[in-house]
Structure 1
Amino acid sequence: MSTTVTDRDPWTPRRLFGDLLVPRATTLALWAWVVFNLALVGWVGVQSLKESGEVWISPFGFPDSPRWSNYSTAWKAAGFSSAALNSTVLTLLGAFLIVALAAPAAYVLARSTRRVAGPLTGYFAMGMSIPLQTVVIPIVVIKLSVSSFMTDWVTGWWDNRITLLVFQVVLSLPFTVFVLTGYLRSLPSEIEEAAELDGAGPLRAFLQVVLPLAKPAMTTVLVLNVIGLWNETLLALLITPLPEERTLPAALLSLYGSMQYSSDWGALFAGITILVYPMIVLYLWLGRRIVEGMTAGIGK
């Protein structure tokens, strides 16, 4: 009497490979990637406390004596004072405007029963797939036209940081609207109906009922936009050429241009640390909320 082996048999090679080896190998690969990135971040921080000679003589060792003066050297050489102020103001104001504009738009798309709501959501998704490099020339042309128009015909002056803020907000809206739309669709519509029975209008129901319930998704897009705006480099180089208008990434590139000739590599690593570490701390602090907000509305 012969016996047959089915896919339900836990010892078949297919089941053994699919259910045991692949998940474990994937988990191991992900943890290896996490450890590598954490080690790289720690390595940059260690290099920022070394003298230039130590960076090359013992690249994987610890400094004999921590050189905290590298941070002050980098801060002064790159003009990080004004750059940090520009980055902070543009990042916070930009993230607030993005969420303030995207939340009502996402709510309308999530609750609308019109046929146009679906295609519009798709268009926002398509907007995320457009590389910034493909629209560099239109961005520069618009920037020059706006600056010339405002200077010659309206105010008599113009600040390129305003243009940078506008472009940052516009280019970040597709992702934010798409994420918030998916989350708001996961919320039951009965909550608005209950608010209407209590005498609340649509605007009041949105502000006092829907937005508090959408706090996880709002936190997610807010933090992700803060990280994205803080690290934005290409737009800053294209739109804000003057030293007093630079953001931290642009100032860091300027620091690299000067430090590679003076060979002050410790100060250069200190500048990288100043730029990168605040966003890493922010992400580690709010990482779990970001994941919850990204996955709560999936599939809706």
Structure 2
Amino acid sequence: MAETLAEPAVRSSAPNTARPPDQRGPRRTRRSGGPFRLLGRPVVWFWAAFNVALLVWIILQSFRNGGDIFTKPFQLPKSLSVDNYRTALGVGQLGSSFLNTVVVAGSATVAVIGLAAPAAYALSRSKSRSASPLTTMFAVGMGIPVQAVVVPIFVLMQSISSYMYDHVGWWDDRLSLFIIYVASSLPLAVFLLTAFFRSLPSELEEAAELDGCSPFRVFWQVMLPLAKPGIVTAFILTLIGLWNETLLALVFITDSTQYTLPQALLGLYGTMQYTSNWGGLFAGVVIVVTPILLVYVFLGGRIVEGMTLGAGK
């Protein structure tokens, strides 16, 4: 009788590791995010699908003539003829405009990164009192719209061009556009790279300095490779912004041989409006949009990577 009474006491003192499934703790469930997230996902997917469908429709219409587009706008092209693209490149001068955009926007982007990277590194590592106000000034510069200062910029560039014509005898309006592109794109690049350099560990700099590296060598061989994701992000964002820029190009470029792609597309619209060759206009839109789409497809992940690495450290 004593053995039968002692047995349950021993069993109760032993740890009970095996619990029935219905008595286990609550499972971790993914947060739903509330009704805004549930409603936001379908809206985002619908907007993305609409834009993709619109892009596909524009590409298909670029192979058709203007009359068929108006009578049967959703009909597939009968043949994949490139006549509209030849018209856009010839009449709209999109070929030379494409080259102008690559030279001006590409060189301005390289110059912006070349100036912003050392400036951002210096601001992120400087211990002087002026470092924080300078960073704030770059942040304020991002909020100033170009439309608000286009008149004084135009007057300044006119003075520079007049001086160069009088003393050198030559000036190119694309140089004016290049200077303005660099000046207007620097605030975003410096602000972005400053935040990214601050997220990098300073122990690597101290170790490199102990090994005898100069400050320039520390920046060039140690910190710059570590900041590659942020530099790529700044490069892509700057290039996309300058590629699509239209206002400054319309103000400062007057020679048709120096037009950029947005200017040439506007001129093509005026021409095709009178000839009713809407297929050529759609072909011009495809030529202008395709490089940026390729940048997003192949390098869009780098933008997200650079943003998340800079914010997560």
Q: Structure 2 length normalisation: TM-score?
A: 0.87
- The residue number in structure 2 matching 1:111 is 125
- The residue number in structure 1 matching 2:138 is 124
Give the match's secondary structure for 1:298. Answer: helix
- The residue number in structure 1 matching 2:8 is none
Structure 1 residue 39 displacement after superposition: 1.7
Look up the equivalent residue of 2:271 and give its one-letter code.
S
Specify the structure having the higher radius of gyration (Cα).
Answer: 2
Equivalents in 2 of 1:90, 1:98: separation in Å? 12
**1:73-222 map, 5 Å:** 73-153=87-167, 155-222=168-235
- Change over 3 Å in CA distance of 1:190–1:170 after alignment to 2: same
Matched, 1:253 2:266: yes
Look up the equivalent residue of 1:228 and give its one-letter code.
G
Q: Structure 1 length normalisation: TM-score?
A: 0.91
Q: Out of 47-56 and 92-101, give the one that drifted further.
A: 47-56
Alpha-carbon RMSD across the aligned residues, in angstroms, is 1.8
Give the match's secondary structure for 1:270. Answer: helix
Q: Out of 179-188 and 30-39, give the one that drifted further.
A: 30-39
Q: Out of 107-116 and 258-267, give the one that drifted further.
A: 107-116
Structure 1 residue 119 displacement after superposition: 1.9
Number of aligned positions between the proteins: 285
- The residue number in structure 2 matching 1:38 is 52
Equivalents in 1 of 2:32, 2:236: separation in Å? 36
| Aligned residues with identical type, % of pairs | 50
- The residue number in structure 2 matching 1:4 is none
Equivalents in 2 of 1:119, 1:251: separation in Å? 41
CA contact (8 A) 1:54 1:63 kept: no
Matched, 1:264 2:274: no
Equivalents in 1 of 2:135, 2:32: separation in Å? 36
Structure 1 residue 187 displacement after superposition: 0.2
CA contact (8 A) 1:51 1:67 kept: no
Structure 1 residue 26 displacement after superposition: 1.9
**Superposed CA offset, 1:68-110 (max 9, x none):** 1100011000112221111111122111100000001100111
Structure 1 residue 115 displacement after superposition: 2.4
Matched, 1:288 2:301: yes
Q: Out of 78-87 and 94-103, give the one that drifted further.
A: 78-87
Q: Out of 140-149 and 56-65, give the one that drifted further.
A: 56-65
What 5-or-longer segments of structure 1 have no aligned partner? 1-9, 11-16
Q: Out of 133-142 and 195-204, give the one that drifted further.
A: 133-142
Structure 1 residue 61 displacement after superposition: 2.7
CA contact (8 A) 2:32 2:38 kept: no
Look up the equivalent residue of 2:144 and give its one-letter code.
I
- The residue number in structure 1 matching 2:62 is 48
